[in-house]
């Protein structure tokens, strides 16, 4: 069995990957319903995240920095900033958010155009 720290880091990597990819695929011009859905998803993610200490800390961050859901760009930048708050706490490098949308291209852009099938 791998060391607990390794497992926790792998969980974090996978969780952040999905988190940023969802934000990078969020609509440019979301409806009220889409905005509510994203906010709720993030709040619930913060509640079910399986590392208890991480979840507690993240919930505090969410209170201080509520999800920004106005557009894809604002949501993705908010996500990058809040991950940087966690990086800061863990003594990790601060990530450059300027190319966040390109960094989390999931290869599913063609879905929107219904091309590339
Ligand atoms: P990670 O932080 O996992 O990042 C993965 C990759 O994402 C990086 O290699 C980089 O390419 C990219 N990246 C880095 N920063 C950003 C950014 N700001 N925006 C976009 N992409 C970025 N661990 C703890 O020990 N204590 C905690 O309290 C804790 N809280 C967490 C809360 C949440 C919600 C999550 C998802 C994880 C938490 N973790 C916590 C795990 C921790 O954040 C890391 O995932 C883990 O330490 C592994 O770090 P890493 O250096 O591999 O990079």
Query: 52-84 pLDDT, tens per residue?
Result: 999 999 999 999 999 999 999 999 999 999 999
13 neighbors 7 (Cβ within 8 angstroms): no
Domain boundaries in the chain? 4-106
Closest C-alpha among 29, 19, 39 to residue 72: 29
CATH of 4-106, one of 3.20.20.140, 3.90.420.10, 1.20.120.310, 3.60.20.30: 1.20.120.310
1 neighbors 82 (Cβ within 8 angstroms): no
Most distant CA pair in the chain, distance: 46
DSSP secondary structure of 48-61: H-SSHHHHHHHHHH
d(CA 43, CA 65): 12
* Closest atom of ligand 1 to CA, residue 53: 28
The pLDDT of residue 56 is: 97
In the chain, the percentage of residues whose pLDDT exceeds 90 is 89
User: Considering only CA atoms, which residue is closest to atom 40 of ligand 1?
Assistant: 54
pLDDT tens figures, 19-30: 999 999 999 999
| 45 CB near ligand 1 (under 6 Å) | no
Whether the predicted interface score ipTM is above 0.95: yes
């Amino acid at each position: 069995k791998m060391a607990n720290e390794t497992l926790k880091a792998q969980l974090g990597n996978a969780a952040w990957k999905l988190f940023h990819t969802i934000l990078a695929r969020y609509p440019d011009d979301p409806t009220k319903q889409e905005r509510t859905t994203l906010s709720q998803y993030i709040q619930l993610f913060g509640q079910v995240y399986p590392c208890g200490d991480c979840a507690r800390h993240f919930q505090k961050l969410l209170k201080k920095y509520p999800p920004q859901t106005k557009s894809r760009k604002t949501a993705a930048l908010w996500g990058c900033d809040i991950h940087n708050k966690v990086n800061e706490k863990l003594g990790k490098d601060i990530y450059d958010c300027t190319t966040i949308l390109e960094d989390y291209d999931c290869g599913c852009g063609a879905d929107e155009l219904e091309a590339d099938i």
